[in-house]
A and B are shown apart, each in its own frame.
Chain A
């Protein structure tokens, strides 16, 4: 049985590892658009951007280990171009790669700012090449403007401030992240930026990114202000990388083009499963909500499960994960477990900050700042469909202990 994994990042790597662990002895092909071996992305916007941080992005596993120990045929540096679900083939360059089982793990690509392609000093942050370029600009003392106050952009701002650089973050919404974590938590995020010397401009859009001789010079805002800049990082979200699946018969979400799966990660097309940032998956823990998660833990878990299920569909079990992400800003750790899609958000600790999210009579989410001991206690309650008032009582006790 030929297993083909398209996408050579965390989900794809975990698919390969899990297939071998499950006893698959047949051929495995791993196809990746980037020329690099699979590497870890969260550090790209964190430790890697720090002065004195690691100088290179290290792969999870070396090439010899992947090839010889895991028996993986690597096709790196060329993206998959099309999928033929009738012939059961993926085209890569001029090759047709046949599969019996296929894992789609192509992730998501940042949305570019229109008209900036080829302008030096304008970057997005997704790949190690992006991170190397941004780090190099920060090393050179760049005046930095970040477009979009999301997690990635905010981590870049944090890294720039840690080096003492001037940083401006421009966000079209009236608060950072309020749609993804709520108004109260969004306010805390805005305060973190301002308390650390980042110039946060809210409720204003970017009219244009200005350049001279092919190099960025500044960012012009909707209100006419021009912010001088040597480095502009655009962090305004990503779109699932599924252009290669158009017309393949794999069902795609009408809004963002992500791959639609069932809770076992099956796409409905024989032998074809999806995992990671690319996949929309219903989550039975949250009333079957369709979730597309851009989280490390989801990519790892789904990658491993997709391969097991693809190789042995009869054994497939639906996943019911508690989503989890974290972000590091100015030396503070923001952690979120569960879903922000709720009936009520209650702030239970204003000292460091903890907010709980209620749906019906259950706790469905928790956001903490600098509360590493507590966040997984909330996660456990969310996983067990825990009672809201009990969660509030626990939070009250825990906050008092923390303050004592």
Chain B
């Protein structure tokens, strides 16, 4: 899975350049994010604009990445499509993650710890 990154004020925005985050993509997604995190990104905003479909394997992969990053780093989510947001809501994982409507929202309202 191709992931584009840019750094804004110490926050790494990681954009998933794919339309699906499912069982077939989960391993590649985790590898990609681990590389970014181990490369020194302590605060990551995941830009999910392009992800039209996510299954529970995809959700599990996002949880795995957050746990691997540990409590001292942050992983926040932005720009979820309706279908993706629904998976978070139905599993109540929307209560666990910080989720923002847009990447700009995440950068301005969230991530205060990063500044």
User: Do A and B originate from a single complex?
Assistant: no
